[in-house]
Amino acid sequence: MSRTFGRGKSMKRKQLKFVVGSGVIILTLAFLAFSGYQESKAYYLTVPELHAMKDASAEKQLKVAGDVVPGSIDRTESRVIKFMISQEDGKTHRVETLHVRYVGTDAPPDTFIERAQAVVTGKLGTDGVFVAHEMTAKCASKYEKETAAGVKRQTE
């Protein structure tokens, strides 16, 4: 009778270890999934919206869209691109600009040129410069803007 009781006790101990181990693995995976989600979450803003937020935007992961200001692209530093993006505020009709410092590991897209619409992902620094680690650029609207502004392209 004592042999049967001892076997049952060791089975319960093995089951308990299995349940505790499984629980630890599930909680670890849930924590990693949650923290990964929090890290990748970014608010999408325009330049005027970012300026309106002021200090509330500090240390938040943000995506900011705007047009690359002509003549502002600076590639003098190795692996760092500095430029400005601008956008007109719909309410005040003022053009607002944002200084951007791209420090991403990927090369900038081929469509990243003056007047292209750029979407940068990163954080706003305390100095007011947006430090981006990711960038995308759209180029198609460049030609539409030039046509609307009366700029005629020379044909080759």
pLDDT given for residue 103 in this prediction: 92
pLDDT (0 to 100) of residue 79:
85
Quote the pLDDT of residue 70: 92
84 and 37 in a single domain? The answer is no
95 and 119 share a domain?
yes
**pLDDT reported for residue 110:** 85
pTM, 2 dp: 0.63
Pure H helices in the chain: 2-40, 47-53, 140-148
> What is residue 44's predicted lDDT score, i.e. its pLDDT?
78
* 32 and 68 co-located in one domain: no
Does 36 share its domain with 46?
no
User: How many folded domains does the chain comprise?
Assistant: 2
Tokens at residue 133, please?
């680690």
Is 155 inside a domain boundary?
no
Residues 56 and 94 occupy one common structural domain: yes
CATH (domain of 141): 2.40.50.140
The reply to whether 154 falls in a domain is no
Domain that holds residue 141: 42-148
Q: Which segments of 26-154 are extended strands (E)?
A: 43-46, 62-68, 81-88, 95-102, 117-124, 130-138
Q: Please indicate, yes or no, whether residues 24 and 36 belong to a single structural domain of this protein.
A: yes
Residue 156 belongs to a domain: no
**What pLDDT was estimated at residue 101?**
94
Q: Which of 98, 103, 84, 81 is closest to 46 using CA atoms? A: 98
Low-confidence ranges of the chain (pLDDT < 70): 1-8, 38-42, 55-58, 139-156
Burial 73-104 (b: 16+ CB within 10 A, else e): beeeeeeebbbbbbbeeeeeeeebebbbbbeb
* 49 and 90, same domain (yes or no): yes
pLDDT at 155: 47
Q: 34 with 49, same domain? A: no
**Smallest Cα–Cα separation from 48: which of 96, 99, 84?**
96
What is the pLDDT at residue 142? 47
70's tokens: 């002509």
